[in-house]
Amino acid sequence: MVFKWRRRASGKSAPSRQATAEGDAQQRFSDLMDLHGASLRAAVYQSCPEELRQHLEDIEQEARLRIWKAIQAERKFNNPKSYIYKVGVNATRDAVAKLRGRGAVETQLEPSTPETAPPAEEGTAGTDPRLWRRQVMASLERCLAKLAENRQLAVRLHLQGFSNQEVADMLSWSEPKARNLIYRGLTDLRRTLSEEGIDYEAPS
Protein backbone atom coordinates (compact mmCIF):
# COMPACT_ATOMS: atom_id res chain seq x y z
CA MET A 1 0.00 0.00 0.00
CA VAL A 2 1.36 3.42 -0.98
CA PHE A 3 0.68 6.48 1.14
CA LYS A 4 0.81 9.92 -0.47
CA TRP A 5 1.01 13.14 1.51
CA ARG A 6 -1.25 15.96 0.45
CA ARG A 7 -1.77 19.42 1.77
CA ARG A 8 -4.90 20.13 3.69
CA ALA A 9 -7.20 22.18 1.55
CA SER A 10 -9.37 23.50 4.34
CA GLY A 11 -7.55 26.84 4.34
CA LYS A 12 -8.55 27.40 0.72
CA SER A 13 -12.08 26.12 0.84
CA ALA A 14 -13.18 28.21 3.79
CA PRO A 15 -11.86 31.43 5.33
CA SER A 16 -9.93 31.01 8.55
CA ARG A 17 -11.26 32.35 11.82
CA GLN A 18 -8.52 34.99 11.80
CA ALA A 19 -9.44 36.14 8.29
CA THR A 20 -13.11 36.37 9.28
CA ALA A 21 -12.28 38.43 12.36
CA GLU A 22 -10.09 40.73 10.26
CA GLY A 23 -12.90 41.24 7.78
CA ASP A 24 -15.36 42.00 10.56
CA ALA A 25 -12.95 44.52 12.08
CA GLN A 26 -12.46 46.24 8.75
CA GLN A 27 -16.21 46.48 8.24
CA ARG A 28 -16.72 47.87 11.75
CA PHE A 29 -13.99 50.45 11.20
CA SER A 30 -15.47 51.46 7.85
CA ASP A 31 -18.95 51.84 9.37
CA LEU A 32 -17.61 53.97 12.24
CA MET A 33 -15.73 56.28 9.89
CA ASP A 34 -18.77 56.64 7.63
CA LEU A 35 -20.89 57.67 10.60
CA HIS A 36 -18.42 59.67 12.68
CA GLY A 37 -15.50 60.55 10.43
CA ALA A 38 -16.65 64.18 10.34
CA SER A 39 -16.60 64.33 14.16
CA LEU A 40 -13.05 62.98 14.19
CA ARG A 41 -11.92 65.54 11.62
CA ALA A 42 -13.60 68.35 13.56
CA ALA A 43 -11.96 67.26 16.83
CA VAL A 44 -8.52 67.27 15.22
CA TYR A 45 -9.05 70.63 13.54
CA GLN A 46 -10.39 72.37 16.63
CA SER A 47 -7.73 70.94 18.94
CA CYS A 48 -4.82 71.83 16.66
CA PRO A 49 -3.19 75.26 17.00
CA GLU A 50 -3.41 77.30 13.82
CA GLU A 51 0.35 77.35 13.32
CA LEU A 52 0.44 73.53 13.16
CA ARG A 53 -2.52 72.91 10.88
CA GLN A 54 -0.26 71.85 8.01
CA HIS A 55 -0.01 68.59 10.00
CA LEU A 56 -3.77 67.98 10.17
CA GLU A 57 -3.78 65.06 7.72
CA ASP A 58 -1.00 63.23 9.56
CA ILE A 59 -2.70 63.78 12.92
CA GLU A 60 -6.02 62.49 11.60
CA GLN A 61 -4.30 59.37 10.25
CA GLU A 62 -2.75 58.76 13.67
CA ALA A 63 -6.19 59.10 15.27
CA ARG A 64 -7.67 56.65 12.76
CA LEU A 65 -4.86 54.20 13.53
CA ARG A 66 -5.69 54.39 17.24
CA ILE A 67 -9.33 53.64 16.51
CA TRP A 68 -8.35 50.72 14.24
CA LYS A 69 -6.15 49.24 16.96
CA ALA A 70 -8.98 49.55 19.47
CA ILE A 71 -11.30 47.71 17.08
CA GLN A 72 -8.72 44.98 16.50
CA ALA A 73 -8.54 44.58 20.28
CA GLU A 74 -12.33 44.06 20.17
CA ARG A 75 -13.00 47.08 22.34
CA LYS A 76 -16.68 47.97 22.71
CA PHE A 77 -17.78 51.60 22.45
CA ASN A 78 -20.84 52.56 24.48
CA ASN A 79 -20.88 55.99 22.86
CA PRO A 80 -18.95 55.77 19.56
CA LYS A 81 -19.29 59.46 18.67
CA SER A 82 -17.94 60.58 22.03
CA TYR A 83 -15.14 58.02 21.92
CA ILE A 84 -14.03 59.04 18.44
CA TYR A 85 -14.10 62.72 19.37
CA LYS A 86 -11.91 62.01 22.41
CA VAL A 87 -9.47 60.01 20.29
CA GLY A 88 -9.20 62.96 17.92
CA VAL A 89 -8.54 65.40 20.75
CA ASN A 90 -5.98 63.15 22.46
CA ALA A 91 -4.15 62.32 19.23
CA THR A 92 -3.92 66.02 18.42
CA ARG A 93 -2.60 66.94 21.85
CA ASP A 94 0.03 64.22 21.66
CA ALA A 95 1.07 65.34 18.19
CA VAL A 96 1.25 69.00 19.21
CA ALA A 97 3.42 68.14 22.22
CA LYS A 98 5.73 66.08 20.01
CA LEU A 99 5.96 68.76 17.32
CA ARG A 100 6.64 71.48 19.85
CA GLY A 101 9.25 69.29 21.47
CA ARG A 102 11.02 69.14 18.11
CA GLY A 103 10.74 72.91 17.74
CA ALA A 104 8.36 72.53 14.82
CA VAL A 105 6.20 75.52 15.74
CA GLU A 106 6.70 78.23 13.16
CA THR A 107 6.69 81.91 14.02
CA GLN A 108 5.39 82.96 10.64
CA LEU A 109 2.05 84.06 12.09
CA GLU A 110 3.51 86.51 14.56
CA PRO A 111 2.98 89.58 12.34
CA SER A 112 -0.78 88.95 12.37
CA THR A 113 -1.14 88.78 16.15
CA PRO A 114 -2.46 91.75 18.15
CA GLU A 115 0.87 92.21 19.95
CA THR A 116 2.98 92.58 16.81
CA ALA A 117 0.61 93.89 14.15
CA PRO A 118 0.89 97.65 13.49
CA PRO A 119 -2.06 99.45 15.09
CA ALA A 120 -4.61 100.75 12.63
CA GLU A 121 -5.89 104.25 13.11
CA GLU A 122 -9.40 104.28 14.44
CA GLY A 123 -11.99 104.97 11.80
CA THR A 124 -9.63 104.66 8.82
CA ALA A 125 -11.15 103.18 5.69
CA GLY A 126 -7.97 101.25 4.97
CA THR A 127 -8.34 98.87 7.92
CA ASP A 128 -8.48 95.30 6.57
CA PRO A 129 -11.42 93.45 8.21
CA ARG A 130 -9.83 90.10 7.33
CA LEU A 131 -6.67 91.01 9.22
CA TRP A 132 -8.76 92.16 12.18
CA ARG A 133 -10.69 88.87 12.15
CA ARG A 134 -7.45 86.86 12.11
CA GLN A 135 -6.18 88.87 15.07
CA VAL A 136 -9.37 88.26 17.03
CA MET A 137 -9.38 84.54 16.20
CA ALA A 138 -5.73 84.25 17.23
CA SER A 139 -6.58 85.89 20.55
CA LEU A 140 -9.59 83.61 21.00
CA GLU A 141 -7.46 80.51 20.38
CA ARG A 142 -4.80 81.65 22.85
CA CYS A 143 -7.41 82.34 25.51
CA LEU A 144 -9.15 79.00 24.93
CA ALA A 145 -5.82 77.24 25.34
CA LYS A 146 -5.47 78.79 28.80
CA LEU A 147 -8.67 77.16 30.09
CA ALA A 148 -8.62 74.04 32.25
CA GLU A 149 -8.88 70.91 30.09
CA ASN A 150 -12.52 70.02 30.78
CA ARG A 151 -13.67 73.63 30.55
CA GLN A 152 -11.81 74.13 27.29
CA LEU A 153 -13.36 71.05 25.70
CA ALA A 154 -16.85 71.98 26.89
CA VAL A 155 -16.54 75.57 25.63
CA ARG A 156 -15.18 74.50 22.24
CA LEU A 157 -18.19 72.24 21.71
CA HIS A 158 -20.53 74.96 22.97
CA LEU A 159 -19.06 77.45 20.50
CA GLN A 160 -19.77 74.96 17.71
CA GLY A 161 -23.44 75.19 18.60
CA PHE A 162 -23.88 71.98 20.60
CA SER A 163 -26.43 72.13 23.40
CA ASN A 164 -25.58 71.34 27.02
CA GLN A 165 -27.18 67.91 26.68
CA GLU A 166 -25.32 67.18 23.44
CA VAL A 167 -22.02 68.13 25.08
CA ALA A 168 -22.88 65.86 27.99
CA ASP A 169 -23.73 62.95 25.66
CA MET A 170 -20.56 63.35 23.58
CA LEU A 171 -18.27 63.45 26.61
CA SER A 172 -20.15 60.96 28.80
CA TRP A 173 -20.95 63.61 31.43
CA SER A 174 -24.15 64.45 33.22
CA GLU A 175 -26.04 67.47 31.85
CA PRO A 176 -25.45 69.52 35.04
CA LYS A 177 -21.72 68.85 34.81
CA ALA A 178 -21.62 69.95 31.18
CA ARG A 179 -23.68 73.06 31.96
CA ASN A 180 -21.43 73.98 34.88
CA LEU A 181 -18.21 73.53 32.89
CA ILE A 182 -19.56 75.56 29.97
CA TYR A 183 -20.65 78.38 32.29
CA ARG A 184 -17.36 78.50 34.17
CA GLY A 185 -15.35 78.09 30.98
CA LEU A 186 -17.15 80.99 29.28
CA THR A 187 -16.60 83.14 32.36
CA ASP A 188 -12.87 82.40 32.22
CA LEU A 189 -12.81 82.98 28.47
CA ARG A 190 -14.46 86.41 28.72
CA ARG A 191 -12.01 87.42 31.44
CA THR A 192 -8.92 86.40 29.49
CA LEU A 193 -10.23 88.01 26.30
CA SER A 194 -10.94 91.20 28.22
CA GLU A 195 -7.31 91.22 29.30
CA GLU A 196 -6.41 91.31 25.61
CA GLY A 197 -8.80 94.19 25.01
CA ILE A 198 -11.58 92.16 23.39
CA ASP A 199 -15.20 92.21 24.52
CA TYR A 200 -16.73 88.90 23.51
CA GLU A 201 -20.21 87.48 23.87
CA ALA A 202 -20.44 83.75 23.24
CA PRO A 203 -23.65 82.28 21.77
CA SER A 204 -26.16 81.47 24.48
Mean pLDDT of 112-134: 49
HEC letters along the chain: CCCCCCCCCHHHHCCCHHHHHHHHHHHHHHHHHHHHHHHHHHHHHHHCCHHHHHHHHHHHHHHHHHHHHHHHCCCCCCCHHHHHHHHHHHHHHHHHHHHHHCCCCCCCCHHHCCCCCCCCCCCCCCCCHHHHHHHHHHHHHHHHHCCCHHHHHHHHHHHCCCCHHHHHHHHCCCHHHHHHHHHHHHHHHHHHHHHCCCCCCCCC
Residue 109 has pLDDT above 80, yes or no: no
Task: Look over the chain and give the mean of its residue pLDDT values, rounded to a whole number.
Answer: 75
Q: Tens digits of per-residue pLDDT, 7-16?
A: 555 555 555 6
Cα–Cα distance for residue pair 77/72, rounded to 1 Å: 13
Residue 183 has pLDDT above 90, yes or no: yes
Phi-psi region of 46 (alpha: psi -120 to 50; beta: other; left: phi over 0): alpha
pTM for this entry: 0.48
Where is pLDDT greater, at 195 or 1? 195
Residue 52 has pLDDT above 70, yes or no: yes
- What pLDDT sits at residue 16? 65
- Measured between alpha carbons, how far is residue 48 from residues 34, 59, 85, 145, 193 in Å? 23, 9, 13, 10, 20
Q: How confident is the model at residue 179 (pLDDT cuts 50, 70, 90)?
A: very high
Cα–Cα distance for residue pair 101/31, rounded to 1 Å: 35
Residue 159 has pLDDT above 60, yes or no: yes
Per-range mean pLDDT, top range of 7-21, 45-59, 132-146: 45-59
Q: Tens digits of per-residue pLDDT, 65-107?
A: 999 999 888 888 888 888 888 899 899 989 988 888 765 443 3
- What pLDDT sits at residue 134? 74
